[in-house]
Structure 1
Amino acid sequence: MSDRRTAWLLLPQPVRRLPADLAAVVVLTLLTLGSVFIPGINETPLRVIFGLGFVLFLPGYALIAALFPEKGSREVSADDDQTQTETGSETETKPSPVPGSDAAETGSSQSTERSEHTQQQGIDGIERVALSFGLSIAIVPLIGLVLNFTPWGIRLAPIALSVTVFTLACVSIAAKRRREVPAEERFRVPYRAWIAAGKAELFDPDSRTDAALNIALVLSVLLAVGSVGYAVAVPPQGEQFSEFYLLSESDDGELVADGYPDELEVGEQSELVVGIGNNEYELTTYTVVIQLQTVEQDGNTTIVREREEIDRFQATVEHNNSHHEPHTVQPTQPGENIRVKYLLFKDSVPETPTQENAYRDLHIWIDVLNPNEASRLAPQFRY
């Protein structure tokens, strides 16, 4: 016990004087930053759990705490006052003063002051929670809008740090303003009363019916929390597929899905990049077979007359990752409308790879010229 007391006294005085609800906001904010930026933890469901509260509740709650440091009270109307007087539950029945007398004027003045005082007090707990959600939904997009006009832009780190700075600044202002309010008027979260009432209701029910209802309530809450936790930890598996694409290098060195060769000489090389994207929800081994095919068109049917395998490679790709494999196209025989066919297979490759038994396929068309024919035709392409 003394060790805990000593550790508590080591904290700065402003931290020790911080109210429990504001301290909880600070702790949850720091936990959110940890769940977002610490490697390993940022891949767990904790990132989603803390992130939702960080975006949807904490900034608004901190702002409301800064704007309304005092506790709220229900405004009592004239009808409520009359009802309380008639029942005698809270006030003692007194004779009405004579109209026009000093007592009547004094009572009227005091009543007006009490009414005005009641209207000047802060919001109650339900309004505070509702406004916290509403303001958070408004604050975070506004912060993103401001960041959009800065060099940092709308990215994870700037957004997280900006919301953190805003939240902690509001917590600091809220703590300062709450200390300036008289102790009996400060807002406090009655968590001790809630805990005591919960224990009394759960462990000391008034009847067996209440006990059964309490057990059913606890089981329902546990079931709901378990269902939400399972949904976050094990999201439903989406459609399984693999991406297969062909890229070339542009003049500025970027990989683009354009600029494929359409004419090569025999022996001439063209550098391309084969891309594979794994969305199979498992580690997958791919095999890519590249063929030069001579084809003919028979109506709407393409008939492969000859095929020559010019390259083959394997790639093992984890789920939600991509692999880029450099590839060189170098034709060895001349011909027109030569189809360079890329065939993608999962796990194993048939003895005769074709478009029909491939998992994915793509192709480009090229004309392969003899060097002498290319030099003879070259002037035709100078304009």
Structure 2
Amino acid sequence: MSSDSDRVHRLWLLLPRSVRRLPADLAAVLAVVVLTCTAVLTPGLQQTPLRVLVGLPFVLFIPGYAFIAALFPETGKTAEPDTDTDTSEMRSETGIDGIERVALSFGTSIAIVPMIGLLLNFTPWGIRLVPILVAVSGFTVFATGIAATRRLELPPEERFRVPYEDWAETAKTELFEPDDRTDKVLNALLVLSVLLAAVSVTYAVAVPKQGEAFTEFYVLTENETGDLVADDYPTEYTVGESKPLYVGIGNHEHRQMDYSVVVELQKVTISNNTTRVQTERELTRFGTSVGANETWQQQLNITPTIEGQRLRLAFLLYKENPPAEPTVKNAYRELHLWVNVTATQSTQHRVPPSSVSSKEQSYAS
């Protein structure tokens, strides 16, 4: 046992003196920062409850605690009479006590983190996970360094320290050495309540309730700068000439999903709020598999095969395989664009049937 203690002591002495002198509460602050960065940036830990367990105190308490520690490095003892004089004059009190320190830590954290986010909004990095994580971590480490420097400059008796030993001794006395039977019962109820609350919180974090299951389905186009946007879709087509569009699927079904997409160009009539398909041509269909909470995109070259004004370019999404007769009504998700298609001067209005899968029928959708 002694050899193990000696080994730990030798390893401790290998650390820089400034690190060894770091107060325990400030060392715990740095440990939470490191643990949070590890939980958020490590691929295997990103979806585990550890991210929530360390992320909440990192955002709601740690930055404010480091900031308050930098502002108030001294202890907040209760003022005592000055024994050097005959009067009952009280010494002036400096610093803040533990309760005030905790309350201010929560309050300043709630103010500091949004302020950092606001400043990031005016930078090229924007309000994203990694920039916020780096900014909050940098602020916390900087404030912790100032707090440690200011605290170590004070005489030992004036430095703030977390009274771990006093808390432990008080808790031991209250729990195991009660004054009467009533205190014993109250202590037992208190312990049971704390255990029940801890188990409930742990279960809520470890087994989070699944949200609504749904699938995102969208069509994008490329703007002049090369970005994909949901705006300025091409509406003028020529028979046989292609224009690119991008189809996207976001899987929020909480499991891996197999999808099928059918793209049709339809001639429709609208009467009495009823849309009736007169003619349709299937332009393409394909299938894909998308993992849970993943997004998939693919470029499609849309090549019209029939001409007409105000044709409906329909994108139909299905779970697994599509039915024999895909329609807007039986699709899991449906998107459409209204387009105009003209014929080229060098070709007939109709494309040879062998070049495209076509079907002509009349139904309401």
**What range is the shorter-chain TM-score in?**
0.7 to 0.9
In the alignment, does 2:105 pair up with 1:107? Answer: no
* Alpha-carbon distance in structure 1 between the residues aligned to 2:290 and 2:100: 52
Q: CA deviation at 1:107?
A: 1.6
Deviation at 1:31, TM superposition (A): 1.6
1:66 paired with 2:70, answer: yes
C-alpha separation in 1, matches of 2:201 and 2:209 = 12
> Which one of 130, 138, 152 corresponds to residue 157 of structure 1?
130
Q: Which of 35, 60, 65 lines up with 1:31 in the alignment?
A: 35
Q: For the residues of structure 2 that align with 1:260 and 1:354, how far apart are their CA atoms?
A: 23
Once the two structures are superposed, the pairs formed by residues 75-86 of structure 1 within 5 Å of their partners are 75=79
CA 1:59–1:308 in structure 2 vs 1: closer, same or farther (change >3 Å)?
closer
TM-score using structure 2 length: 0.82
The answer (yes or no) to whether the contact 2:78–2:93 under 8 Å persists in 1 is no
Equivalent AA in structure 2 for residue 28 of structure 1? V
Q: Where does residue 59 of structure 2 map in the other structure?
A: 55
- The aligned length equals 344
Q: Any conservation in 2 of the 1:265–1:374 contact (CA below 8 Å)?
A: no
Alignment match of 1:299 (pick from 248, 272, 290):
272
**Where does structure 1 lack aligned partners over 5 or more consecutive residues?**
82-90, 92-102, 376-383
CA-based RMSD of the aligned residues comes to 3.0
The alpha-carbon deviation at position 372 of structure 1 amounts to 3.1
Once the two structures are TM-superposed, the CA of residue 13 in structure 1 deviates from its matched residue by 1.5
Q: Distance in 2 between matches of 1:368 and 1:150?
A: 44
Distance 2:166 2:93 in 1: 26
Letter in 2 for 1:67: L
Equivalent residue, structure 1, for 2:263: 290
Identical positions, percent: 55
Does the Cα contact within 8 Å between 2:246 and 2:300 map onto a contact in 1?
Answer: yes
- 2:128 and 2:242 map into 1 onto residues whose CA distance is 41
Q: CA deviation at 1:197?
A: 3.1
Residue type at the aligned position of 1:129: V
* Paired position in structure 2 for 1:17: 21
Equivalent in the alignment of 1:270: 243
* Structure 1 residues 354 and 59: CA distance shift in structure 2, 3 A: closer
Task: Give the whole-Å Cα distance in 2 for the aligned partners of 1:151 and 1:329.
Answer: 35
Find the aligned partners of 1:171 and 1:366 in 2 and give their Cα distance: 61
Query: 8 Å contact 2:79–2:93 — kept in the other structure?
Result: no
SS of the equivalent of 1:235 reads coil
Query: Unaligned stretches of 5+ in structure 2?
Result: 349-365
**CA radius of gyration, larger in:** 1
| TM-score normalised by the chain length of structure 1 | 0.79
Between structures 1 and 2, the one with greater helix share: 1
Which structure 2 residues correspond to residues 1-383 of structure 1 after superposition, within 5 A?
1-75=5-79, 107-108=86-87, 111-112=88-89, 115=90, 117=91, 119-207=92-180, 209-372=182-345
Letter in 1 for 2:130: A
Local SS of the residue matching 1:189: coil
The structure-2 alpha-carbon separation of the partners of 1:247 and 1:208, relative to structure 1 and needing over 3 Å to count, comes to same
**By how many angstroms is 1:314 displaced?**
0.7
Deviation at 1:287, TM superposition (A): 0.9
